[in-house]
Amino acid sequence: MIRILLVDDHAVVREGYRRLLERRADLRVEAEAASADEALQRLREFTPDLIVLDLSLPGMGGIELARRILQRQPDARILAFSMHRDPLFASQAMRAGALGYVTKSSSPEVLIQAVYKVARGERILSPDIAPEMALTLLQEKANPASELSPREFEILRLLLDGRGVEEIGNLLNISPKTVQNGHYQIKAKLGVKTDIELARLAMKLKLID
């Protein structure tokens, strides 16, 4: 039996995927969480065989959550599950420690097979993103945001969401000074000098709409 922690902030979505996963006799969703904090609480209560993790969580996002989970449980097996088809999100999720990345536009069977593979400790990308990921790796000039660490990527996501330095620090459990340093490093790595330039580049890179 593969015991699963399902993390997604939409109750209807969780219910749908619970039903899908539990059609298989050897898959069981033992716990659910709607936020990063709730997921960490569930992980204090039991150790799942697999964590199916949505990246777009309110507050602390899935990439930072994956990194934090693996700090506490280095052998945790995480399958990132996201609406984003951009290879950058898949790359950041894998760098944060996820073994697999499946888009929400994938067929149910793709998700099921990814669950089994990640539970065995194998790496997997959904077919609708794997070719783009390969092309990105072959390109001479990669997306500059790929130079960001998972922590920097999460700080950027929160900055673009309009969060202040103090709030970001509280969400990520780091000091405001660390957030400010991260902000500076992000702009340096992306080659921009102002927050307006940062926002424009983020739009160009499709990090925001």
b/e burial code for range 161-184 (CB count within 10 A of at least 16 → b): eebebeebbebbeeeeebbeebbe
Per-residue pLDDT, averaged over 10-24, amounts to: 95
Q: Are residues 132 and 165 in the same domain?
A: no
Smallest CA-to-CA distance from 99 within 72, 126, 132 is with 126
The last residue of one of the domains, among 81, 107, 137, is 137
Question: Residue 148 domain-assigned?
Answer: yes
Q: Are residues 149 and 184 in the same domain?
A: yes
Q: Are residues 197 and 98 in the same domain?
A: no
Q: pLDDT, tens digit, for every residue of 41-94?
A: 999 999 999 999 999 898 899 999 999 999 999 999 999 999 988 888 888 898
Residue 119 above 70 pLDDT? yes
Structure tokens at 143: 């997306």
Give the domain range for residue 199.
144-204
Q: Are residues 149 and 182 in the same domain?
A: yes
Q: Are residues 122 and 76 in the same domain?
A: yes
Q: What is the CATH number of the domain that holds 125?
A: 3.40.50.2300
In terms of pLDDT, which residue wins out, 85 or 178? 178
The last residue of one of the domains, among 137, 171, 187, is 137
3-state DSSP helix/strand/coil % of the chain, to nearest 5: 55, 15, 35
pTM: 0.80
The last residue of one of the domains, among 137, 156, 181, is 137
The answer to whether 110 and 127 have CB atoms below 8 angstroms apart is yes
Question: Residue 37 domain-assigned?
Answer: yes
Beta strands in the chain (DSSP E): 2-7, 27-33, 50-54, 78-82, 100-103, 124-125
pLDDT value of residue 89? 87
Q: pLDDT, tens digit, for every residue of 43-54?
A: 999 999 999 999
User: What's the chain's length in residues?
Assistant: 209
pLDDT above 90 coverage of the chain, percent: 64
Q: Are residues 129 and 153 in the same domain?
A: no
Q: Are residues 110 and 158 in the same domain?
A: no
**Total domains in the fold of the chain:** 2
